[in-house]
Amino acid sequence: MAPTPFGTDGLFGGGERYPLELARALARDVDCTLLTFGSRSSRRRESGRLRLRTVRSFTFLGGHPAHPVAPSLIAALARADVVHTHHLRSTPSRIAALTARVRRQHTVVTDHGLSGGDWAGFLPRLFDRFLLVSAYSARELGAPIERTRIIYGGADPVRYRPDPAVSRAGVIFVGRLTPHKGVDRLIAALPPGARLRVVGSAGHDAALPERDYPNLLRRLAGGHEVDFVGAVSDDALPLVYRQAAVLALPSVERTCYGREVRVSELLGLVVLEAMASGTPVVASRLGGLAEVVEDGATGFLVEPGNVAELQDRLTQLLRDPELAARMGARARDLVLERFTWRACADRCLAAYAELQRSARPRLHRPG
């Protein structure tokens, strides 16, 4: 169950794509329904054993897209053997966990960094397993060690793959245009003559000045070769990666507005997609990114917010296509070894199997 859908009617980000890609991989082995929310109810079979179901949401608590209120949610979960929710603190996750506990269904959760309360420690007790995207995520969430499994995330190596017939040039950024992504630093660090493509749309910051961030980026881009592409379709995204010489993910710990970012980049799904495409990565050394990017092998890690270091590493890859090609090839090899959705689904299914072999679920004591 994913509270915020990905697509033309949803949001553009890893926290939305993750449940969809994982469900696709799981459906190769088990019957899987991906449940999400929208303005109207719908059902369709995507392929094989995967069903996509949208339940109608009537409102959003606090106007937040991760907190849809849908009266039919409880009935929609009735036949599940395992209820796997995304975003621990979302309203649907809370409702699903309580409902599943009453029905004595197994419950697992994958968190993507949504903030909020945990009902004075009661909410985590409702879940049998925490299937988390990185060791960093587990530490930040304070997940109980004995119930936690690190499943990471992945990329489809068939969809995201290099193509020797496609020429590479310039830098790309893929993600939401929110201040903690550090795109302002990336524009400042852009090497002379280099082209930057910014792929993504604005976030949902409710207050100024951060709501004006996309306009700030456009002002900063004056005098640079920057193309704001906006959100692209799921089908068009692979070509974006193949055409780039390097992907930059310059996330920061302090935004240009002076706001401290306590938790950032639990995994970095766009990094895995770029790596699968044979595209080297320059990313900030924070969050779960250091668990994915091998500094000096599949790309470079730089100090968050350090414009000079970011520019140096971008320049190095843009000026040395042979180095970029070697790093890109190693990056793809690493994805094939550890970070495909197939590998992620296998880790997930192993955790499900643990529960199926165990006794009926019960409330867990703290820790």
pTM of the model: 0.91
Distant-in-sequence, close-in-space partners of 168: CB < 8 Å, separation ≥ 6: 242, 243, 244, 245, 279, 321, 324
The residue behind tokens 């996509």 is 52
**CATH domain 14-154+341-357 topology:** Rossmann fold (3.40.50)
The residue behind tokens 């994913």 is 2
Give the percent of the chain with pLDDT over 90. 82
Question: What pLDDT does residue 203 have?
Answer: 63
pLDDT at 206 over 60: no
Domain ranges of the chain: 14-154+341-357, 171-338
Question: What pLDDT does residue 246 have?
Answer: 98
The hierarchical CATH code for the domain 171-338 is 3.40.50.2000
pLDDT at 314 over 90: yes
Q: Report the chain's mean pLDDT, rounded to a whole number.
A: 92
Task: Quickly count: other Cβ atoms within 10 Å of residue 108's Cβ.
Answer: 23
Residue 90 — very low, low, confident or very high, per pLDDT cuts 50/70/90?
very high
Backbone angles phi, psi at 40, to 5 degrees: -145, 155
Distant-in-sequence, close-in-space partners of 136: CB < 8 Å, separation ≥ 6: 266, 287, 288, 291
pLDDT at 367 over 70: no
Q: What is the pLDDT of residues 94-144, one digit of tens each?
A: 999 999 999 999 999 999 999 999 999 999 999 999 999 999 999 999 999
Q: Which of 3-12, 33-42, 263-272, 335-344 has the lowest mean pLDDT?
A: 3-12
Q: DSSP 3-state assignment of 365?
A: coil
C-alpha distances (whole Å) from 186 to each of 167, 254, 260, 300 are 23, 14, 18, 14
Answer yes or no: same fold for 14-154+341-357 and 171-338. Answer: yes
